[in-house]
Structure formats: C-alpha cells, structure tokens
Amino acid sequence: MKDRTGHSEWLNYNHLRYFHAIAREGGLRRASEVLRCSQSSICSQVKLLEECLGEPLYRRSGRTIALTSFGRIIYEYAESIFSIGRELLSTAKRAASAATLRLQVGILDSFPKLLSIEVLRPVFESRPVVLVTCREGKMEDLLGQLASHRLDAILCDEPPPSGMQVKTFSHLLGESGLTFCAAPKLAALLNQKKEGFPALLHEAPFLLPTQNTALRRDLEKWFVANRIEPTVTGEFEDAALAKVAAVEGYGVTVVPTLVEEEAVHRYGFVPVGRTSECGVRLFLVTAERAFEHPGVALLAKQFAPAPPTHHRPARRSKRASKPSEPNHP
C-alpha cells in the first residue's frame, strides 16, 4: 500500500535486514556469506527496499559499494531497530527462564495497611518469587478491575455491596479484635485516670476512620454500648496516615490486635486497651469460586476460609411485583 506521494506505508524488515548486513559487513560478498543466500537475491531485496523508500541507498565506487547520504541515515535507523530487537529477545528469554508468577491484588483504601502486609506475607516469602502488584482504591473501581481481569483478587474489610453490577465471590478469611494505641505521653495521661479500660477512653482525643467505612460503623456502636464519647480530632481514609498522626500524639488510634506487636514495634505505640466486641474482618474477593491463581490460593492458605458468599450482579426488572433475587443465596 502506498500513500499519496507514492511511498509505501509498510516497511518490510527482511529487506531492511539485507541492506543492514551489506552496510555492516562492508560488501555484498561478505553479506551473502553471513546471510547464507546468493548475492543476486540480496540485490533484489535491497532494490525492493529502495523502491519502498523512494531513494537510492548505495552507489558504485570502483569495485565496492558505498552508502549514499540517504543510505547512511537509513543505516542508523536500522542499527537502532535491530539493537532494540536484540534487547527484546534477551528480555523474553530472561522472563521465560525466570518463569515469574505475577499476582495483581486490589486493596480497599480503608483496609489496614499492616494487616495487608500480614495477609500478603506468605506470597512475598514464597519461592520461586511471586511478583506482587498492589493497587489501592474504592470498592467500585477495584471491582471494575477485577471484572476486566486486571486484578486477581481484592482484599477488603467488608463484602461488596449487593447492588454492584459485578459477579463476585467473597471468602471470609478471618477476624481480628481491636487494640487501642497511643503515643507514650498520651497513653500515660490516659492510664492515670482512675477509671479502667474502656472508661478511660471517655472524651479522649481520637483519630478515627471516615464515616463510610465498616470499621467506623463498628466503633460507633461500641462507643455507644460502652457509654464512651470520644473527642474526634481527625478522620482518615488512609489508616497509615492515621498512625503517623497518632505517633505525633494527636489522638488514640486503633489497630487490629492481630498486628498489635508489629504496630508497637514500628510506631512506638503503647496499647491502652483491647476489645473483641468489634474489629476487622478479612475478606478475599475473587471473580471465581475456586482459587484458580496459585498466588491467590497462597493468600488463603494461612487461614481457614469459610464457604464463599456469591454476589450476583443486580438485575433490573420491569416487573415491579417480582421479588428481587437474593445476593446471598
């Protein structure tokens, strides 16, 4: 196919390789030996390349062949093209020999980061190495990526809402109570109170998850049940940022008791109390009932998962009298 100027819109890279061999080897005879084909065949192939490009690439210089100025430009391009080709083959060979398994995990932005690492630990420590890619986001965005197979699984602290237009399976991996933590100075002030835990938390400054999270809803219920009125000094979608603020002494934060020891070691927190009456649940959301991906199976291996809950896509019905299909059969 040619454009309006008469030049071809397609480049035959075999023709380019013949030309490149003549220029690199310094002559037609040597190029034919390297390529293991006749000189006449090479000449005809290069002639086709010249017709494609619309300019001569060689000129006769006695008994030798010299590149034209246009030919030297094309040779530089050919050098770059075939150099990149060699790099591509080398990369492909390394990838094939390494046989690296890739795991794409979505993590709900409200899911505790230390708990995420705890769940992902067996994958990071597995041999052969598994390349883990973590993508954080809102449930709707993560479900869209799961449905389009850009994610293998999602880690979250609550199953997807029943109204989502995506078929999913929620696997309950486990649960953890909560530990209330504070910087040493604030923890000392709270522990000076005559009231024991949990009463010592009454009117204490708190750094809480935002209102739209399952953990915040559970905490609010727990506060009411224990007659505690916290002084909310900060609300955070990012649990890691809440911990950074807590290190500065701006308020009490909560961490899953499962990772309490790690939080104390990493942030220097002092625990001021624990509860198992509310906490964090660990869900692994997949697009398939079974753990088809070996990396996903490895995530679930350290837990004893309950039977998956099937979330069917919501259906729109024109018959108002027809009852809606249950999302949890």
Residue 179: pLDDT over 90: yes
Highest mean pLDDT among 102-111, 220-229, 284-293: 220-229
Low-confidence winner among 3-12, 137-146, 264-273 (lowest mean pLDDT) = 3-12
pLDDT at 320: 34
DSSP SS3 for 16: helix
User: For 284-320, what is each residue's pLDDT tens digit?
Assistant: 898 877 777 888 888 877 654 444 555 555 444 333 3
- pLDDT of 109 higher than 70: yes
- What three-state secondary structure class fits 282? strand
pLDDT at 306: 47
Domain CATH number, residue 39: 1.10.10.10
The better pLDDT of the pair 171, 2 is held by: 171
193 and 322 in contact (C-beta within 8 Å)? no
Instruction: State both tokens at 268.
Output: 């220097």
Q: Are residues 163 and 289 in the same domain?
A: yes
Beta-ladder partners of 190: none
Return the bridge partners of 59, or none: 66
Decide if 33 is inside a domain: yes
Residue 133 CB contacts under 8 Å (≥ 6 apart), including other chains? 102, 103, 104, 105
Rounded to whole angstroms, what are the CA distances from 96 to 61, 93, 103, 225, 280?
47, 5, 17, 58, 40
Same domain, 137 and 222: no
For residue 91, give the amino acid letter: T
The reply to whether 269 falls in a domain is: yes
* pLDDT score at 94: 63
Grade residue 151 by pLDDT with cuts at 50, 70 and 90.
very high
Query: Exposure pattern of 163-191 as b/e (b: 16+ CB <10 Å)?
Result: ebebebbbbbbbebbbbbbbbeebbeebe
Distance (Å, whole) CA 104 – CA 149: 9
Q: Residue 320 falls within a domain, yes or no?
A: no
Does residue 151 sit in the same domain as residue 296? yes
> Is 211 strand, coil or helix?
coil
The whole-angstrom separation of Cα 319 and Cα 317 is 5
Report, in this order, helix, strand and coil percent for the chain, each rounded to 5: 40, 25, 35
Residue 174: pLDDT band by 50, 70, 90 thresholds?
Answer: confident
Q: What is the mean pLDDT of residues 16-41?
A: 84
| Burial classification of residue 52, based on how many CB atoms lie within 10 Å of its CB (0-12 exposed, 13-18 middle, 19 or more buried) | middle
Note whether 73 and 132 are same-domain residues: no
Give residue 149's region: left, alpha or beta (phi > 0; psi -120 to 50).
left
Query: Does some domain include residue 238?
Result: yes
Q: Is residue 8 part of a domain?
A: no
Alpha-carbon gap, residue 159 to 234, rounded angstroms: 26
When comparing pLDDT for 119 and 65, which is higher? 119
- Do residue 165 and residue 292 come from a single domain? yes
Residue 49 is predicted with a pLDDT of 86
Q: Domain range for residue 193?
A: 175-281
CA-based R_g, the chain, Å: 32
Do 19 and 66 share a structural domain?
yes
Given this model, what pLDDT does residue 9 score? 64
Residue 325 domain flag: no
Is the model more confident about 151 or about 32?
A: 151
- Give how many domains the chain has, as a whole number: 3
What's the rounded Cα separation, in Å, for the pair 300 and 152?
13
- Give, in order, the Cα–Cα distances in Å from 242 to each of 118, 227, 249: 19, 24, 11
Q: Which of 65, 82, 97 is the last residue of a domain?
A: 97
Does the residue 69 lie in any domain?
A: yes
Task: Assess whether 198 and 241 both reside in one domain.
Answer: yes
In-domain check, residue 324: no
Same domain, 87 and 140: no
Q: Which of 51-60, 192-201, 234-243, 256-265 has the lowest mean pLDDT?
A: 51-60
pLDDT at site 319 = 36
- Indicate whether 78 and 58 sit together in one domain: yes
Mean pLDDT of the chain, nearest integer: 82
Same domain, 270 and 199: yes
More confident residue, 231 or 309: 231
- 21 plus 83 within the same structural domain: yes
Q: What is the CATH number of the domain that holds 166?
A: 3.40.190.10
Q: What is the mean pLDDT of residues 67-92?
A: 85
pLDDT tens track for 31-69: 888 888 888 888 888 888 888 888 888 877 666 678 888
Cβ–Cβ under 8 Å, residues 311 and 164: yes
Same domain, 42 and 140: no
The first and second tokens of residue 95, run together, are: 């990838």
Q: Are 181 and 162 in contact (CB under 8 A)?
A: no
Domain end: 97, 121, 148, which one?
97
